Structure 1
Amino acid sequence: MASERLEKKDHVSVAETASGEPTGSDIVASYLPLVDFLAEALGPTAEIVLHDLRREEHSMIAIRNGELTGRRVGDATATESALRMVRRAEERGKSYMANYFGQPAGEKILRSSSYFIRDEDRSVVGILGINVDLTQLLAARQTMDRLLALSEADPAGGSLPPSIASLFPGRPGAASSPDGALPPPESSRDIEHMVYSVLDRVLSACKADPVRLTAREKREVVDELNARGVFLLKGVITEVARRLAVSEQTIYRYLKN
């Protein structure tokens, strides 16, 4: 029998053969090296998580950069939204979900992706998750916007050229919002843009016009949007109800059940 060694990182110990391959046939444990690889490749702003869904409690068997969300190995289970994603993945045969708005961790803004690990029966038994912290990037963008901002219009009394004015919304000579109000802060606009982009992608993927979907199909759309964190943004329920041609009460009922 090949000699074995135990490697200890920021996750649970994993038995490996001398060749570096996990022992046994555990498909979820075979993804443990990827936790370290992705953490090293993506850097400290990316939390990498590995869940073994066969563990009813404490499904998280590995994590790197857990300080982003304050989680540690063994003290957390997969969230309800993650479990809903798993159910949809099994129903639709999806291998992964990428670049959705993650559950907020305090003041952090996360972009999340999940890869579904399947066993020989094609059942989802694990999740390899990536949560990228966008907070500092958005703050840097705000700083750049402030540094690039023009404080006044053309001294000669003219307005800014359109090609320049479009880069400085809310400044003299630039286009303002329809009601004349200044646009919201950059971070708020970025989050709103991200959420509505997800909403547009999900609705455009429907097999028919969202208004013409059956009640069951509309409920599946709401489940998909909820799993992607769309409803974390205030006011989205009204927009989703409008696009699906249902009442807001219907959306709330779908979310509750």
Structure 2
Amino acid sequence: MTDADAVLSALRPVLDGLAATFGGNCEVVLHDYRRPEGSVVAVAGEVTGRAPGGSMSELGLSLLKQGRDARDQINYLTRTPAGRVIKASTMLLRDRDGEVFGALCVNLDVTDLRHAAVLLGELAAVTALPDATTTFTNDVGQLIRAVVAEEELKLGRPVSRMTRAERLDLFRALDERGLFALQKAVPEVAAALGISRASAYNHLAEIRS
């Protein structure tokens, strides 16, 4: 058993206790980033619909891409596709060499608290909570399509109307987010963009050269 396996095994029993401490609106997820397509090792509670064997999120991909420079992400806000507001913390797990191999994530549904904050805002001078989005899914294909759609939206035009330079910028953005670390990411990206696999592989090779 490796050190990483030992840490993951030791943390499994902790999940239920953490979820119970925060109540029914809390979910705790244990990730093994060595398997990005199925990084979810264990889940306690139910907030985002995560399940063992599910893929990692965009944030996880980004942190994995950063390597040793990655830092814990504490108390950030995001939204589920259903519109629920989630306060989340992602605490990285590292081996003895400092390499990131996983994460312990705590997701707390604060939607009802947000509604209360809006109602009390005028009295308490509360600033509106910022909006953010992420994709909580157990399907790596859905994750890839969501990231592609987000980056395509940032560029402001569909791939069919992009110049070659803009298409390369799109691939560069996807690579910087760690998307191509996933198995079969290139075919999935090609399908999402409506281009051939050969073109996708050529674009990836060009930006990395």
Q: What TM-score bracket applies, with the shorter chain setting the length?
A: 0.5 to 0.7
User: 8 Å contact 1:102–1:131 — kept in the other structure?
Assistant: no
Shift of the alpha carbon at 1:34? 2.0
Aligned ranges for residues 130-145 of structure 1 at < 5 Å?
A: 130-144=106-120
Distance change in 2, residues 1:143/1:56 (3 Å): closer
Aligned ranges for residues 116-127 of structure 1 at < 5 Å?
A: 116-127=92-103
Residue 61 of structure 2, aligned match among 83, 93, 97: 83
Matching residue of 1:191: 129
Structure 1 residue 113 corresponds to structure 2 residue 89: yes
Q: Could you tell me which amino acid in structure 1 is paired with residue 49 of structure 2?
A: G
Residue 10 of structure 2, aligned match among 19, 27, 30: 30
Structure 1 residue 57 corresponds to structure 2 residue 40: no
Supply the distance in 1 between the matched residues of 2:36 and 2:84 (Cα, whole angstroms).
28
Summarize deviations over 1:174-231 as a string: whole Å, max 9, x none.
Answer: xxxxxxxxxxxx8xx6233x77xxxxxxxxxxxxxxxxxxxxxxxxxxxxxxxxxxxx
Shift of the alpha carbon at 1:103? 4.4
> How many aligned positions are there?
139
Structure 1 residue 167 corresponds to structure 2 residue 123: yes
Q: Counterpart of 2:7 in 1: which secondary structure?
A: coil
User: 8 Å contact 1:49–1:62 — kept in the other structure?
Assistant: yes
Summarize deviations over 1:17-47 as a string: whole Å, max 9, x none.
Answer: xxxxxxx962222111221121011111111
Supply the distance in 2 between the matched residues of 1:61 and 1:168 (Cα, whole angstroms).
41
User: 8 Å contact 2:114–2:129 — kept in the other structure?
Assistant: no
User: 8 Å contact 1:98–1:112 — kept in the other structure?
Assistant: yes
Matching residue of 1:92: 69
User: 8 Å contact 1:114–1:128 — kept in the other structure?
Assistant: yes
Which runs of 5 or more structure 2 residues have no equivalent in the other structure? 133-149, 156-165, 176-209
Shift of the alpha carbon at 1:142? 3.6
Q: Relative to structure 2, which stretch is displaced further, 29-38 or 43-52? A: 29-38
Query: What's the TM-score once normalised by structure 1's chain length?
Result: 0.46
Distance change in 2, residues 1:168/1:93 (3 Å): closer
Which runs of 5 or more structure 1 residues have no equivalent in the other structure? 1-23, 146-165, 170-185, 196-231, 238-248
Shift of the alpha carbon at 1:56? 4.3
Q: Counterpart of 2:15 in 1: which secondary structure?
A: helix
Q: CA RMSD in A?
A: 3.3
Distance change in 2, residues 1:116/1:167 (3 Å): same
User: 8 Å contact 1:36–1:64 — kept in the other structure?
Assistant: yes
**Structure with the higher helix share, 1 or 2:** 2
Residue 19 of structure 2, aligned match among 39, 54, 60: 39
User: 8 Å contact 2:36–2:56 — kept in the other structure?
Assistant: no
Shift of the alpha carbon at 1:64? 1.4
Greater RCO, CA 8 A, separation 6+: 2
Q: Could you tell me which amino acid in structure 1 is paired with residue 52 of structure 2?
A: V
Supply the distance in 2 between the matched residues of 1:56 and 1:138 (Cα, whole angstroms).
32
Distance change in 2, residues 1:64/1:168 (3 Å): closer
Shift of the alpha carbon at 1:111? 1.3
Q: Counterpart of 1:57 in 2: which secondary structure?
A: helix
Shift of the alpha carbon at 1:167? 3.3
